[in-house]
Structure 1
Amino acid sequence: MTAGRSPVDVAVGVVIRADGAVLFGQRLAGKPYAGWWEFPGGKLEAGETVTEALARELHEELGIDIEGSSPWVVREHVYPHAHVRLHFHRVERWRGEPRSREGQALRWQRPDSIEVAPLLPAAIRVVGWLRLPQALAISAASDLGDEAFLRALDARLDAAPCVLQLREPGMAAARFDALFREARARCERRGARLVVNSAHPASYWRAAGGVHLRAADLMRLERRPDLRWVGASCHDEAELARACALELDYALLGPVLPTASHPGTPGIGWEGFARVGAPTAIPVFALGGLDWADAPAARRAGAHGVALRSAAWR
């Protein structure tokens, strides 16, 4: 029985190779869930930070020395044998070649083609998030003009994977319908994810298979919409907590820096983002006043990636 116990803190390393493949290890005989596959890591020892525990565990298990890791998501899971709080860090730089030092089998797997099974239950949702691009682009057809925006969208989708949020408040219905159909066709051809802002009719959410909720719409919901992808805009801890409680797929948090649309309004800054957005149960994109060059700072602060509007189309 684990009811009533405080969760055990565990540092988990999502070790990502340059080609995007991720490392999994198989649990040894004699352990709970023996033979199941998991991300490497282990329990925090007394006085350790997550970063310190992760460095120790990956050296002991894999013989590597971490040169850089970034916080990502924190998930709690109750197993029959334990209640754990899993601190997932992405590890993309290390010294040494990962090798089994404890006799466990190791496999590199691409996130879009996981072949090892079964996965530990707590790892399943996280594997899905590894398929989530690290850039979210917000449409700007009202500013650029529809044809110019669609050309910019083609260029963006050809350059790198991204999620497109179609958000054109105030656009005439017929014009938006035509824009939606063109944008959806381009996303489908390239395997890109499309979500429609909740300012637009729900029929478009369903046609796209995803919705991006405005903060006010998020706070009114009692349950997650029945769609493949659901995200939300958040500005504070309460809204972000609501997005986590509804088990959304991602959230945007900001503004991080001052924006042209809100001159004179300071952003929360990277320290504020890390304080509010890093220890969350879902991936969080940094939003507001950012450019592509801000992606490393966003990752260091615990963001999944960056969400851009104007800068996305430059």
Structure 2
Amino acid sequence: MSVETVVTTPAVPVVDVAVGVVLRDDGSVLLAQRPVGKPYAGWWEFPGGKLEAGESVADALARELHEELGLEDVVSTPWVVRGHAYPHATVRLWFRRVRRWRGEPRPREGQALAWRAMHAIDLDPLLPASIAPIGWLRLPPLYRISCAAELGVDAFERALGRGLEALADARAPAPLLLQLREPALPESDLLRLFERLRGWRETRPLRVVVSSRHPAAFAHAVDGVHLTARDLAAATVRPQGLWVGASCHAAGELDRADALGCDFAVLGPVSPTASHPGAPTLGLDGLAREIAATPLPVYALGGLGAEDLAAAEAAGAHGVASMRAAWR
């Protein structure tokens, strides 16, 4: 579903709004309560405001965060773009993540402010257009794809164990998100690995989604499913599961994933990979073009690792998806 078709009444003017998802290093996010005199007074939302004529989204957000919160030198990166029809207005919301600024947020318009952990936002009521992004904040920056057939099951389990220990030691705000994708693994080894992962997620910071190329019962037994591009194209209803991801190769497939109700997508390949030598790649500039108006969070896929996170986020990606690089 494109940004334009999210809006149900095309004849109604669409108001473009820059929205700031202001994030601290401790994993908390800033929300503001709409003041008396505005529509939805008392409801909580991410701060931001309307674009002025000729203004870029980044510049509009920097201006709004200064006017509303007193922040200076705001640096933001694109994230997602959502349309929403309220009774009083139809808006197109350009969400941008803000990790760098100068000054301490203070309410300059009489609004209440609150910092909350990304995975534990308990404010109520929430402005309807803020609900989906709050769910997306639970997605970690790294989306790891299993590599057991290539590494060997035992070596892969050891590498995963090290990753889980590192997350626990760092008290990371989000669990490790793993896609089980092993088309070349013998069935007996796949079942053994699946059972091990299912047990680990009960006691460790691990969430598992299963590639749709594997039995649907696997996905139902853990945290969700990741649709191949072919299965995404064929699907007519959202699969069951807490999380539903999808593999995409172009903006049109991202719209399809959004229409189906997917929670996130991966897009690539961004850079050359060992598994697809010589295949065309997007590059970071191509990635930025494809996801410039993405309606859901996108992981950049292909030849990328944790060291590429900043560049991927600057291009508008939620984070990086990786297979081999995830287990170095």
Could you tell me which runs of 5 or more consecutive residues in structure 2 were left unpaired when the two chains were aligned: 1-7, 168-174
Return the letter of the residue paired with 1:46.
A
Take 1:188 and 1:303, find their aligned partners in 2: how far apart are those partners?
29
Structure 1 residue 6: Cα displacement: 2.9
Which of 27, 31, 46 in structure 1 is aligned with 2:34?
27
Alignment check: 8 A CA contact 2:70 2:103 kept: yes
Structure 1 residue 2: Cα displacement: 6.3
Alignment check: 8 A CA contact 2:76 2:100 kept: yes
Alignment check: 8 A CA contact 1:27 1:38 kept: yes
Corresponding position: 1:313 with 2:320: no
State the match for 2:145 in structure 1. Answer: 138
Classify the secondary structure of the residue corresponding to 1:171: coil
Could you tell me which runs of 5 or more consecutive residues in structure 1 were left unpaired when the two chains were aligned: none
How well do the aligned residues superpose, as a CA RMSD in angstroms?
1.3
CA gap 1:3/1:264 in 2 versus in 1, 3 angstroms? closer
Classify the secondary structure of the residue corresponding to 1:10: strand
Return the letter of the residue paired with 2:133.
V
Which of 248, 256, 272 in structure 2 is aligned with 1:258?
272
Which of 33, 36, 42 in structure 1 is aligned with 2:43?
36
Take 1:236 and 1:188, find their aligned partners in 2: how far apart are those partners?
36
Q: TM-score, normalised by structure 2?
A: 0.93
Take 1:188 and 1:286, find their aligned partners in 2: how far apart are those partners?
28
Take 1:196 and 1:188, find their aligned partners in 2: how far apart are those partners?
16
Take 1:39 and 1:156, find their aligned partners in 2: how far apart are those partners?
32
- How many residue pairs get matched? 314
State the match for 1:10 in structure 2. Answer: 17
State the match for 2:117 in structure 1. Answer: 110
Aligned runs of 1:147-296 on 2, under 5 Å? 147-160=154-167, 161-296=175-310
Structure 1 residue 3: Cα displacement: 6.3
Structure 1 residue 115: Cα displacement: 2.1
Take 1:126 and 1:87, find their aligned partners in 2: how far apart are those partners?
11
State the match for 2:171 in structure 1. Answer: none
Identity over the aligned pairs, expressed in percent? 59
Corresponding position: 1:92 with 2:106: no
How far does the alpha carbon of each residue in 1:189-240 deviate from its partner, in whole angstroms, 9 at most, with x for none?
2232210001101010101130001000100011211221100111112222
Classify the secondary structure of the residue corresponding to 1:25: strand
Classify the secondary structure of the residue corresponding to 2:190: helix
Which of 73, 81, 87 in structure 1 is aligned with 2:88?
81
State the match for 1:49 in structure 2. Answer: 56
Alignment check: 8 A CA contact 1:70 1:89 kept: yes
Classify the secondary structure of the residue corresponding to 2:256: helix
Alignment check: 8 A CA contact 1:134 1:162 kept: no
How far does the alpha carbon of each residue in 1:245-294 deviate from its partner, in whole angstroms, 9 at most, with x for none?
11210000000001111112231101110011231111000000112111
Take 1:313 and 1:136, find their aligned partners in 2: how far apart are those partners?
12
